[in-house]
Structure 1
């Protein structure tokens, strides 16, 4: 019978310090090396002539950040494994638990020692950082506030990772699995959601994979969230409080599990009998979803998806039993697998039949408050906090159309896509023949409906035309047209850089001229037709709007259909410098593409391959040269090949369709 015990046992404390004290000591040296010492090496002594030491630190995690994060996610895990190593070894577990010390004292003493071993190195490093603060050669490189933030963040997150490792250790009898389970514990929720999302995409037509798998899923992974939190330098005290609370909860659950686990469970993979089927079927499910996703995505085929399910489920089920039994002789245990397959088939059929009507659902017009329509599904989950305006990373929120006509046009297109259910391959998307578009409806009842499809725009030109020519669409699609555009207030300079013209870009700094150019661009865009936007003509130049630091706020191509911009540039006597002119061209060579060849890179390097062909026609007339300059395209194939020989730039080869060649030239090119 055990004797009366106290809440603290000095002997066990000393023994534990001897066992794991080296971890804390080593961590102290590591922290001193990767933070204070690095600052001393980088920011003391003479400043280099190039002035490399100019920026103040936004956060101390900028110093050897990769190493800091690496040790934050490994040292606490190693410490937890060594502190509770005795419960994973049968002889040690029997001996330690035979002593007159309660499990509560053993557990909490080890947890306390682990916390002390993680906290003291940080405090020591923080003190050293404070002592060397005035010795660096940049005034206020970092402040006392930054030191405190760094210390608090590191301590809280170290304890969070440590508590996760302790928690994982209570549910296994093997040290190696304790570390593995800890990392799996942090990754599993996000991984399962991501696997499910990627698999659902094969069952429900229109499922918005990009929207549901964006940053929201990644934020479920503590590793990713912690790195984003600390790397941004924008500490969230609420996040730290949440991590601290979760750490306490994990330790409390671990304590309960420690009190209930049997001593005989040491060296076993799973510590509790009720957890074994959860482990096996959980591993089987993860493997099924992972391999189904892999084969389905790689082959873009539902048949390969099913093959992935069969392969993955078998692999996961067998592997799970091997881990539990610690042997490969587990091939007789098939009853559980048959039950799993039966349940999986029922769920799969339910998803394929679409019993919820997900694929055919379309909100009623009267229930729609606004709708997003575009190719960038990522912007729906983006937010301003992930952008740094000071670094030129401007945030552009997703635009939701609220005009009744625009909503109706978008909804009609959506309805037609559901009806047609076009079958688009990945090859078509990668080649640009098809594109992904996203619909996101804000309903009047507060709900949101998001759908994503791959379509060929050519099949829906009549629908696109009505949407694209609406004033509201142009206001959204063209950044410069947006009312109350906040980012445009940062514009201090405009540069116009002409294509194939080796001269300095036109620079405009006069605020009145900048506003005049903006207005000319706005009018030109508003007068554009759908056909203008789909034209394959190459733009004259790029118009870059920049802030006072030279960062581009917005960039707009000077399209050949922008007659308003052309008129304004002529008034300001800038037009000839804003585009390539006939006098910049030596000559143009035109020849018929009889074999319907595609554009070859070798033609650019050696245009004589083309110009020496039989039937090639050389043009030197300035009016005809200007005609070809005004109709240059970016297409890869055409009925005619046109070689532009520039005076101050490398030759350029373009493809022209038959309807773009003047009739009088066609007669000569037969």
Structure 2
């Protein structure tokens, strides 16, 4: 009997190699073209320069395509016998225990996948060893790359085999495999999105990065820029063992006759049905939320429609028929609706105290404050750091209390921008909140934060400016034909400009104004770096930068990149007798026969102020037209926040 069993085991492996050998060939060719061959192609380029070893192995185009398809295809094809009744009957008639059968299929599948890839690893190692251009590719990095692909391959194959065990069809297995691999990211992202709608202060952005790490797809697509850590590889290896054990156990209880059923285990069918219902509900709710600006009534309508659609789809898939409209459907939907209503009640009344929770000041170690309100303190290019200054922590804490104590400050109007507050507590945990606020109601609290020197140093990265600056580039948003870069490169002028810039930063004051109207251009500082990596500090050029403007004017640079009063031939400002029903462009006001009231501007100081503050976007109530001496006709406008005083 043992000899017969051994014979069947051997034949099973041989049969898998014969029947599915194409999997190994495709995997080998796929990685050959995307790894060693691509290395050879790159080093054959005349201008090939090897800067970073990570770029060579982590940016080899196409390898993820094969990594995320072939192991899953292998799991589908090798376990296809489970989903075909005749094949299932024949295979299970052999004198082989199910555990042994499953183990042999897993072993043969992994050999078909891993042996070809390990050969690719050897070929890649040989190329890197013999070619001097690739001497910076270390053996440890090669081992790291090979280990990562190996573990992810094993995980995907074993995961696919698990899905094959709980489903009754190969098509369902393949589709459900991809859905479940994306499910942690997709489902939690949807949940996070809806919590941001219903929970005051919930920060969806805070959890985004953590959520995206929960799927191998989204995690590895960030691989070139954020290498997967060793502990993450070990987690996937451990998960592979756990999934193998679960599948091994399930196989013993799987009924052969469930082949062709959507779900093989009756206990999993409710999970599948209500899972589809929940996901459909969230997706439809998110859809109506996005197109109706978070109006609660439409969001609830989306929930109801999505739940009904999802529940019906789940029933149709499980029953394999369209004829599912029965009384039991209404009962199931009613029970689901009651459960969701209870959950929404818990969230709405903030039973857990999420919305009012603020950590005590003495328990806060550091705070990260990102102000995107639309005024001078917003600095979109900065990678904000945590600040441990006690005065700053107290100021942010007071702002947070003011927001919570006055809900009228908060608004869902997307014309307002968010405030992000993240605390790092003494025990190492973090707490993050995001609020959409009307900044005009928080002027005193925000002014106190902005005037703290540590905050300005952090947000404008003034400490980094102490290092050697090799070049300064300025780009003006000035209307007309002077929108181009100006470069400052001499050491003396660089130091003078830095001094003027730092003085302007120190003099900045908070005012709740439209940030877009304060921007005159863009400034970029190029810093000296010892590791050949480009390092820059980017900043907006604000209207408050009077010392910078004065320095540029003294050097004769200002007229090179910004229109000056002497460049203007004529300038007119127009107003309409009544508010238009829709947003009108300045050119339309002057050219469409609307008979606006027109005032000609001749005073040089007034022309200069208009040139400094006029914008070509926004909902204008004053419209500007000016003609340069070069013949350019330029239109712009002012909204209610940036009207020059002499026009009011």
TM-score by length of 1: 0.81
Q: What residue in structure 2 maps to residue 523 of structure 1?
A: 503
Q: What residue in structure 2 maps to residue 495 of structure 1?
A: 473
Matched, 1:555 2:538: yes
Aligned counterpart in structure 1 of residue 404 of structure 2, from 409, 418, 421: 418
User: Number of residue pairs matched?
Assistant: 629
Relative distance call for 1:636 and 1:189 in structure 2 (3 A) is closer
- Tell me whether 4-13 or 186-195 shows the greater mean CA deviation: 4-13
Relative distance call for 1:97 and 1:169 in structure 2 (3 A) is same
Q: What residue in structure 2 maps to residue 270 of structure 1?
A: 263
Q: What residue in structure 2 maps to residue 261 of structure 1?
A: 254
Relative distance call for 1:581 and 1:284 in structure 2 (3 A) is closer
Matched, 1:585 2:563: no
Relative distance call for 1:8 and 1:653 in structure 2 (3 A) is same
Distance in 1 separating the partners of 2:643 and 2:283? 52
Relative distance call for 1:424 and 1:310 in structure 2 (3 A) is same
Distance in 1 separating the partners of 2:26 and 2:604? 77
Shift of 1:185: 2.9
Unaligned runs of at least 5 residues, structure 1:
378-392
Relative distance call for 1:607 and 1:505 in structure 2 (3 A) is farther
Distance in 1 separating the partners of 2:89 and 2:302? 45
Q: What residue in structure 2 maps to residue 389 of structure 1?
A: none
SS in structure 1 opposite 2:133? coil
Retained in 1: the 8 A contact 2:443–2:512?
Answer: no
Output aligned runs, 1:3-42, within 5 Å.
Answer: 5-6=5-6, 9-39=9-39
RMSD: 4.0
Retained in 1: the 8 A contact 2:410–2:435?
Answer: no
Distance in 1 separating the partners of 2:227 and 2:506? 40
SS in structure 2 opposite 1:333? helix
Retained in 1: the 8 A contact 2:403–2:409?
Answer: no
SS in structure 2 opposite 1:139? helix
Distance in 1 separating the partners of 2:313 and 2:496? 69
Matched, 1:361 2:348: no
Matched, 1:327 2:321: yes
SS in structure 1 opposite 2:182? helix
Aligned counterpart in structure 2 of residue 290 of structure 1, from 268, 283, 304: 283
Distance in 1 separating the partners of 2:72 and 2:617? 57
SS in structure 2 opposite 1:58? helix
Output aligned runs, 1:459-470, within 5 Å.
Answer: 459-470=441-452
Distance in 2 separating the partners of 1:301 and 1:99? 62
SS in structure 2 opposite 1:268? coil
Retained in 2: the 8 A contact 1:538–1:633?
Answer: no
SS in structure 1 opposite 2:266? coil
Once the two structures are superposed, residues 254-279 of structure 1 have per-residue CA deviations (whole angstroms, 9 ceiling, x without a partner) of: 11211232223322222323323332
Matched, 1:200 2:195: yes
Aligned counterpart in structure 2 of residue 156 of structure 1, from 144, 151, 157: 151
Retained in 2: the 8 A contact 1:536–1:635?
Answer: no
Relative distance call for 1:8 and 1:358 in structure 2 (3 A) is same
Distance in 1 separating the partners of 2:95 and 2:77? 22
Shift of 1:631: 5.6
- Tell me whether 451-460 or 541-550 shows the greater mean CA deviation: 541-550
Q: What residue in structure 2 maps to residue 387 of structure 1?
A: none
Shift of 1:356: 2.0
Aligned counterpart in structure 1 of residue 625 of structure 2, from 618, 624, 643: 643
Output aligned runs, 1:577-656, within 5 Å.
Answer: 577=560, 579-591=562-574, 593-594=576-577, 603=587, 616-617=599-600, 619=602, 622=604, 625-626=607-608, 628-629=610-611, 632=614, 636=618, 640-647=622-629, 650-655=632-637
Shift of 1:367: 4.4
Distance in 2 separating the partners of 1:197 and 1:503? 42
Retained in 2: the 8 A contact 1:643–1:652?
Answer: yes
Relative distance call for 1:371 and 1:187 in structure 2 (3 A) is same
Relative distance call for 1:611 and 1:526 in structure 2 (3 A) is farther
Distance in 2 separating the partners of 1:590 and 1:314? 57
Relative distance call for 1:412 and 1:607 in structure 2 (3 A) is same
Distance in 2 separating the partners of 1:156 and 1:550? 32
Relative distance call for 1:539 and 1:414 in structure 2 (3 A) is closer
Shift of 1:219: 0.7
Distance in 1 separating the partners of 2:446 and 2:285? 35
Retained in 2: the 8 A contact 1:541–1:557?
Answer: yes
Q: What residue in structure 2 maps to residue 382 of structure 1?
A: none
Matched, 1:456 2:438: yes
SS in structure 1 opposite 2:408? coil
Retained in 1: the 8 A contact 2:475–2:561?
Answer: yes
Relative distance call for 1:488 and 1:180 in structure 2 (3 A) is farther
Distance in 2 separating the partners of 1:38 and 1:613? 64
Relative distance call for 1:304 and 1:649 in structure 2 (3 A) is same
- Tell me whether 393-402 or 276-285 shows the greater mean CA deviation: 393-402
Distance in 1 separating the partners of 2:619 and 2:321? 62
Matched, 1:403 2:399: no
SS in structure 2 opposite 1:271? coil
TM-score by length of 2: 0.83
Distance in 2 separating the partners of 1:43 and 1:595? 68
Shift of 1:218: 0.8
Aligned counterpart in structure 2 of residue 122 of structure 1, from 102, 117, 126: 117
Relative distance call for 1:291 and 1:640 in structure 2 (3 A) is closer
Matched, 1:188 2:183: yes
Retained in 2: the 8 A contact 1:208–1:450?
Answer: yes
SS in structure 1 opposite 2:328? coil
Retained in 1: the 8 A contact 2:281–2:305?
Answer: yes
Relative distance call for 1:616 and 1:77 in structure 2 (3 A) is same
Distance in 2 separating the partners of 1:139 and 1:375? 46
- Tell me whether 575-584 or 293-302 shows the greater mean CA deviation: 575-584
Q: What residue in structure 2 maps to residue 436 of structure 1?
A: 418
Output aligned runs, 1:157-236, within 5 Å.
Answer: 157-212=152-207, 214-229=208-223, 231-232=224-225, 234=227, 236=229
Output aligned runs, 1:464-483, within 5 Å.
Answer: 464-477=446-459, 479-481=460-462
Distance in 2 separating the partners of 1:8 and 1:238? 39
Shift of 1:73: 1.3
Matched, 1:660 2:644: yes
Shift of 1:132: 5.8
Once the two structures are superposed, residues 550-575 of structure 1 have per-residue CA deviations (whole angstroms, 9 ceiling, x without a partner) of: 96722334434333334544665655
Retained in 2: the 8 A contact 1:538–1:632?
Answer: no
Q: What residue in structure 1 maps to residue 494 of structure 2?
A: 514
SS in structure 2 opposite 1:232? coil
Relative distance call for 1:220 and 1:203 in structure 2 (3 A) is same
Retained in 1: the 8 A contact 2:440–2:512?
Answer: no
Relative distance call for 1:488 and 1:254 in structure 2 (3 A) is farther
Matched, 1:81 2:76: yes
Shift of 1:164: 0.8
Shift of 1:76: 1.1
Unaligned runs of at least 5 residues, structure 2:
374-379
Shift of 1:19: 1.8
Q: What residue in structure 2 maps to residue 91 of structure 1?
A: 86
Shift of 1:457: 1.9
